[in-house]
């Protein structure tokens, strides 16, 4: 499976890295820089390091490339108007790297 580096990724100081995998088939979805210990409910586009889809383009939703399960849906955050993906809570597992 091809892994796409996200050219829009910025280094986030003080973040830790999470691997996000499909809950159903364990297929790799994305490597993400998470800030703080709050619930993991969304991924900002510019904190995604790499993933199973080309994050240089925006996608209406992210689907597992293996089983087709919907992992997240694109939206723009209300407060700071940032491009992000809202995660489907039951569709993924995360692991701190």
The residues binding Zn ion (CB under 5 A) are: 22, 24-25, 27, 64, 66-67, 69
- Between 65 and 74, name the residue whose CB sits nearer to Zn ion: 65
Structure tokens at 14: 């003080």
Question: Minimum Å distance from CB 77 to Zn ion?
Answer: 26
CB of 93 to Zn ion, least distance (A): 11
Closest CA relative to residue 43, chosen from 67, 13, 69, 20: 20
Whole-angstrom distance, CA of residue 9 vs CA of residue 52:
15
Q: Which is nearer to Zn ion, 9 or 48 (CB)?
A: 48
In this complex, which beta carbon is closest to Zn ion, that of residue 18 or of residue 91? 91
Q: What whole-number distance in Å separates Cα of residue 60 and Cα of residue 38?
A: 25
Reading the block at residue 69, the tokens are 């399960």
Least distance from C-beta 54 to Zn ion, angstroms?
18
């Amino acid at each position: 499976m091809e892994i796409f580096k996200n050219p829009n990724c910025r280094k986030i100081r003080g973040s830790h890295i999470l691997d996000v995998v499909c809950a159903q088939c364990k297929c790799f979805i994305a490597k993400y820089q998470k800030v703080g210990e709050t619930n993991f409910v969304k991924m900002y586009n510019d904190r995604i390091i790499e993933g199973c889809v080309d994050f240089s383009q925006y996608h209406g939703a992210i689907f597992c490339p293996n089983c087709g399960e919907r992992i997240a849906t694109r939206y723009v955050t209300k407060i700071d108007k940032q491009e992000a993906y809202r995660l489907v809570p039951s569709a993924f597992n995360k692991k701190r790297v």
